[in-house]
């Protein structure tokens, strides 16, 4: 598991933020505000007109039935694995931008029926894809798995607007040492105290 390193310079504002959140707003209000902000990042054209009822357990039919994805976008998101998709981009069967839009649409649908996304960066993903397409045109080479989209979590070194998890990287202490275990326990108590609703 890759853990985010917390630099000393970030500890003071983090502590201040935790104190402010604990005294000025209950966790439920914070969660509702964050949920609304996340929902606002889904383009209106990608919203389901008739979401399935909450009693529907199998929602695999929704992307095809929604009318949000084109036939090409359904093909991109269903017929490739990561290796063949990267090859399709290299062979110019699809652009990175086309792939980005297809997977962003599918992720937006998944969020509406499963509430599976912690953060949404659709605009960033599409802008990055446009950059990769330009680099491909300029150099004739793709960058690693250029245009292939992978699932990630807060443990990646990504700039988030807000986070609800804390990660610490241990360099010297053994993972099973008493000091390490005490530090992990302290972080767990801190998270439970200030973020009782950890999945927003």
Residue 1 lies in a domain: no
Instruction: Give the residue with greater pLDDT, 143 vs 185.
Output: 143
- Among the listed residues 51, 58, 159, 147, the one whose alpha carbon sits nearest the alpha carbon of residue 104: 147
- What is the Cα Rg of the chain in Å? 20
- Position 190 in a domain: yes
Domain assignment of residue 3, yes or no: no
Please count the structural domains in the chain: 1
Q: What angle do CA 89, 120, 30 make, to 5 degrees?
A: 170
What DSSP state is assigned to residue 184?
A: H
Position 122 in a domain: yes
Q: How far apart are the first and last CA of the chain?
A: 22
pTM: 0.66
Per-residue pLDDT tens digits for 23-46: 556 888 888 998 999 999 999 999
The reply to whether 200 falls in a domain is no
The model's pLDDT over 138-180, given as tens digits with 9 standing for 90+, comes to: 998 887 555 565 555 545 555 556 665 555 554 544 555 555 5
Look up the domain containing 76 and give its range: 8-194
The answer to whether position 199 is within a domain reads no
Highest mean pLDDT (candidates 3-12, 25-34, 113-122, 171-180):
113-122
Contacts of 129 (CB under 8 A, 6+ apart): 95, 96, 97, 99, 100, 101, 147
Identify whether 100 is part of a domain.
yes
CB distance 194 to 21 below 8 Å? yes
Residues for the chain: how many in total?
200
170 occurs within a structural domain: yes
């Amino acid at each position: 598991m890759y853990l985010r390193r917390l630099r000393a310079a970030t500890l003071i504002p983090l502590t201040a933020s935790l104190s402010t959140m604990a005294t000025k707003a209950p966790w439920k209000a914070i969660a509702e505000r964050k949920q609304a902000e996340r929902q606002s990042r889904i383009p209106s054209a990608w919203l389901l007109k008739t979401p399935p009822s909450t009693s529907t357990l199998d929602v695999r039919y929704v992307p095809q039935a929604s009318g949000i994805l084109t036939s090409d976008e359904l093909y991109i998101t269903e017929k490739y694995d990561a290796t063949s998709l990267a090859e399709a981009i290299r062979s110019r069967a699809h652009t990175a931008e086309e792939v980005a839009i297809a997977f962003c649409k599918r992720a937006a649908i998944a969020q509406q029926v499963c509430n599976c996304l912690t953060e949404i960066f659709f605009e960033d993903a599409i802008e990055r894809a446009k950059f990769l397409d330009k680099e491909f045109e300029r150099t004739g080479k793709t960058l690693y798995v250029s245009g292939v989209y992978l699932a990630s979590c807060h443990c990646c070194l990504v700039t988030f607007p807000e986070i609800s998890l804390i990660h610490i990287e241990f360099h010297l202490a053994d993972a099973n040492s008493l000091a390490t275990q005490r530090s992990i326990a302290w972080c767990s108590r801190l998270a439970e105290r200030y973020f009782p609703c950890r999945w927003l």
